[in-house]
A = this chain, B = another copy of it.
Amino acid sequence: MINKLTDRIKKTGAPIVVGLDPNLRFVPEQIKKAAYEEFGETPEGAAEAVWQFNKAIVDAVYDLIPAVKPQIAMYEQFGLPGMAAYKKTVDYCHDRGLIVIGDVKRGDIGSTSESYAIAHLGHIKIGSTEHALFDEDFATVNPYLGSDGVKPFIDVCRVEHKGIFVLVKTSNPSSGEFQDRQVIAEDGRTRRLYELVGEQVDAWGADLMGEGYSYVGAVVGATYPEEGRILREIMPKAYILVPGYGAQGGRGADLVHFFDKDGLGAIVNSSRGIIAAYQNDKYASYGPEAHADASRAAVEDMIADIRGALENR
Interface residues of A (CB under 8 A from B): 21, 23-24, 32, 36, 41-43, 45-46, 71, 73-74, 76-80, 82-84, 87, 105-113, 115-116, 118-120, 124-129, 131, 133-134, 142-149, 167, 170-179, 181-185, 190, 193, 196-197, 200
Instruction: Choose one: B24, B112, B126, B144; the contact of A45 (CB below 8 Å).
Output: B126
Given A32-B127, A173-B148, A119 contacting B73 (CB threshold 8 A): yes
A36 and B126 alpha carbons, distance in the complex (Å): 9
**B73, A106: Cβ atoms closer than 8 Å:** yes
Residues of B within 8 A of A113 (CB): 73
Instruction: Choose one: B76, B110, B112, B185; the contact of A115 (CB below 8 Å).
Output: B76
A77 and B123 alpha carbons, distance in the complex (Å): 9
**B76, A126: Cβ atoms closer than 8 Å:** no
**18 additional contacts, CB 8 Å, given A32-B127, A80-B80?**
A21-B112, A41-B128, A71-B112, A73-B106, A78-B126, A78-B133, A79-B131, A80-B87, A105-B106, A146-B175, A149-B174, A178-B193, A178-B197, A181-B184, A181-B193, A182-B184, A183-B193, A184-B190
Instruction: Choose one: B80, B106, B126, B176; the contact of A24 (CB below 8 Å).
Output: B126
A100 and B176 alpha carbons, distance in the complex (Å): 32
**A115, B77: Cβ atoms closer than 8 Å:** yes
**B178, A196: Cβ atoms closer than 8 Å:** yes
The 18 sampled A-B contact pairs (Cβ below 8 Å) are A21-B112, A36-B127, A41-B129, A43-B124, A45-B127, A73-B112, A77-B133, A78-B133, A79-B133, A109-B170, A110-B172, A143-B178, A145-B175, A146-B172, A146-B176, A146-B178, A147-B177, A178-B197
